[in-house]
Amino acid sequence: MKGKTIVVKLGTSVLTGGTRCLDRAHMVELVRQCASLHRAGHHIIVVTSAAIAAGREHLGFPELANTMANKQMLAAVGQTQLIQTWQSLFNLYGVHVGQILLTRADLEDRERYLNARDTLRALLDHRIIPVINENDAVATNEIKVGDNDNLSARAAILADADLLVLLTDQKGLFTADPRNDPKAQLIEEVQTIDDTLRKLAGGSIGGLGTGGMATKLQAADVARRAGIDVVIATGQVPEVIGRLANGDRIGTRFPALATPLESRKRWILAGPPPHGEIHIDAGAVKAVREQGSSLLPKGIVRIEGRFRRGEAVRIVNPEGRELARGICRYDALELNQIKGQHSEQIETLLGYGHGTVAIHRDDLVLL
């Protein structure tokens, strides 16, 4: 069997068993499964949560004010404890690990994104298991990815992964909240992520982590658009990681889309957050969605937010739904001057031009 690249995201609830402490007995079992796949020739990447939980445990659960500085302090302490734990456990199986700490800023900038990708691939090429976490010790709300579900999706894109496994305290996505509805049924496969499905996503149970089922849906949607299969499953199933790598039907599977995005569009989806919105008319929707056209100024109705040339924006249809995401060739002030106008009028209106399109189709990702 050809080796796969598999990203395994381990949530705080999985690593603590719902308690206040790291469940090291369960962690060593997860490590054993990863090491087994590693020996079989697969490339394994671990995205780990629980740095703040590990910090609280190491410091004896101090009573602290809920401030950013205290969270960063706990993360700084916990991150060292967490990586030492992973290192010691993988050492039992003769496997080396390497730590990568990321913030959203590392993914927004194209050059830093490529550097992170090169580091990740170098570790994999040398048969070292990357252990990835958000750099909570320095990240502020402005530069945080925000949750490790979405971070794991971006890590999967960086690694050009085949499979993203999101392990949690739930068996998967259900037709209703299984904690409240005994008739709730597991959804074994999801082909389309829509508003109805998003309403089924509940929150995090224990308050130990930042991700609930909603963030897992976001992560699954991002990863599958990049050609990556995604599974949400419980971390308590015996041999869960190996069985999922072999294609066993466990949890909720999100098959990869048939036509994955090319490299630059993967970065647009995974890296820069949108800084504003471009609202377009029905004609522009048809041209962009059905004809694969670039977005022209003529089809723009309204601009929201302040963004610079080269920043990512949402493209919104007349019903208010996000249709696409793209990198703008003009800033918000410039677009406000040329919206609704023909492309040949751009230089007359602005006194200069950056091309005839607002967003080129090569810089646009349909959602």
Q: Is 320 annotated as a binding residue?
A: no
Q: What is the pLDDT of residue 145?
A: 53
Q: Is 162 annotated as a binding residue?
A: no
Q: Mind listing the pLDDT tens digit for each residue in 213-226?
A: 888 998 998 899 88
Taken as a whole, the chain contains a residue count of 367
Q: Is 9 annotated as a binding residue?
A: yes
CATH of the domain spanning 263-366: 2.30.130.10
Q: Is 294 annotated as a binding residue?
A: no
CATH of the domain spanning 5-258: 3.40.1160.10
Q: What is the pLDDT of residue 146?
A: 58
Q: Is the pLDDT of residue 271 over 80?
A: no
Q: Is 140 annotated as a binding residue?
A: no
Q: Is 213 annotated as a binding residue?
A: yes
Q: What is the pLDDT of residue 208?
A: 38
Is the separation of the CB atoms in 244 and 232 below 8 Å?
no
- pTM for the complete prediction? 0.77
282 to each of 92, 193, 287, 303, how far by Cα in Å? Answer: 60, 23, 9, 16
Q: Is 214 annotated as a binding residue?
A: yes
Q: Is 212 annotated as a binding residue?
A: yes
Q: What is the pLDDT of residue 193?
A: 85
Q: Is the pLDDT of residue 191 over 60?
A: yes
Q: Mind listing the pLDDT tens digit for each residue in 242-263?
A: 999 999 999 999 999 866 667 6
| Ranges for all domains in the chain classified under CATH 3.40.1160.10 | 5-258
| Ranges for all domains in the chain classified under CATH 2.30.130.10 | 263-366
CA distance 194 to 125: 38
Q: Is 1 annotated as a binding residue?
A: no
